[in-house]
Amino acid sequence: MTEMIKTTINGKWDLLLPEHRAKRPEWLTGWEPERLDAMYKFIKKDMIVLDIGAEEGDMPALFATWGAKVFMVEPNMRVWSNIRAIWEGNKLKPLGWYVGFAGPKNKQYDEYTAKTARKDGWPLCAYDIVQAEHGFDHLAESAHWINQTKIDDLPIEKIDVITIDVEGSEYEVVKGAERVLTEQHPELFISVHPEFMFHNHNDYEAHMHNYLHSLGYTKKWLAFDHEHHWQYSEVKR
């Protein structure tokens, strides 16, 4: 059984986290405060939040404590035990999940699918040990063996908010969401890594801004720390 420690995020919100995650100094100094404050201001009870790049699941769990119904997408099988520990430790249940990448196309690999099959409401890979050193999987490096889906094809009827933090593949993610963005107009919170975007996908941040503008969105600058934080809203006509 993983020991869970009460942790206060940014001096505002309490969450139970595994020891290795609870000890992060960023919780005390303030982890992406402008982005989280903007999300807290926008998200209302029972809104459906799609979290792309859930990592260890603490941020989507935080959204759930605010009253959101959260669907998580995360490709790294090594981290799903951490996600399950955090969600069950806080007595939370996700709306749903997808083990794989969100991207511009749909791809499925039988071996990967078998390892991520459902067991008691979670993927099989969520029943390994909780581990601090889990590494990361990136779309540009691992698309040849990890499943991928478009946001448009996720089993979610209506999405109110999409949050994206995928280490440079942000534009690739929104390319697979054209139907959802044009029909449902969810609010977007995107953390952009412009150097990784160019290095891994030969794209510029401006290309993503222009694409989202063409779909009826306007952007708001939130902050810059180790990445660019943006909020995108539907243009009111």
Per-residue tokens: 214: 């063409």
CA atoms of 163 and 161, how far apart (whole Å): 7
Count of domains in the chain?
Answer: 1
pLDDT at 2: 86
In a domain, 53, yes or no: yes
N-terminal to C-terminal alpha carbon distance within the chain: 53
pLDDT of 1 over the 90 cut: no
In a domain, 8, yes or no: no
Task: List, for residues 91-139, the tens digit of each pLDDT value.
Answer: 999 999 999 999 999 999 999 999 899 888 999 999 999 999 999 999 9
pLDDT at 201: 96
What confidence tier does 236 reach under pLDDT thresholds 50, 70, 90?
Answer: confident
Domain with 224 in it: what CATH number? Answer: 3.40.50.150
Give the 3-state secondary structure percentages of the chain, helix then strand then coil, rounded to 5: 35, 25, 40
In a domain, 78, yes or no: yes
CA atoms of 230 and 168, how far apart (whole Å): 14
Contact yes or no for 174/210 (Cβ under 8 A): no
pLDDT of 23 over the 80 cut: yes
In a domain, 10, yes or no: no
In a domain, 6, yes or no: no
In a domain, 1, yes or no: no
Domain range enclosing 205: 31-234
CA atoms of 56 and 76, how far apart (whole Å): 10
In a domain, 74, yes or no: yes
pLDDT at 237: 58
pLDDT of 45 over the 90 cut: yes
| 107 DSSP assignment | B
Residue found under tokens 């078998």: 114
In a domain, 4, yes or no: no
